[in-house]
Amino acid sequence: MKEFLSNNGINYEYIDITDSMRNLKIYLGIRDTRPEFEEIKKIEKVGIPFIMLGKGEKLIFGQPGLNELE
C-alpha cells in the first residue's frame, strides 16, 4: 500500500502499530469504536492495513482506487 501511495504522488503519514505502545493503543481505539471494523472483527481479522482520510472522515481497507482517496 505504501508503494501504491508513493507511486501515485499521494502524501501520507505511515504509522506502524508495532513501533510503540502508543501507536498500538491509538489503533485499538479506532478499531474498537468505528463501525467500519465490525465486519472485519466478525471474521476474526485485524483490519490492517487501512487508510484513514483526514481526521477520520473515511476509512479504506485494502488497496484503494485513486478515486477513493479524494
Assess whether pLDDT exceeds 80 at residue 67. Answer: no
- 28-53 residue pLDDT tens: 999 999 999 999 999 999 999 998 98
Query: How far, in Å, CA of 37 to CA of 51, rounded?
Result: 13
Domain boundaries, the chain: 2-69
Res 28: pLDDT: 95
Per-residue b/e over 34-44, b at no fewer than 16 CB within 10 Å?
A: eebbeebeeee
Q: CB burial class (10 A; 0-12, 13-18, 19+) of residue 11?
A: exposed
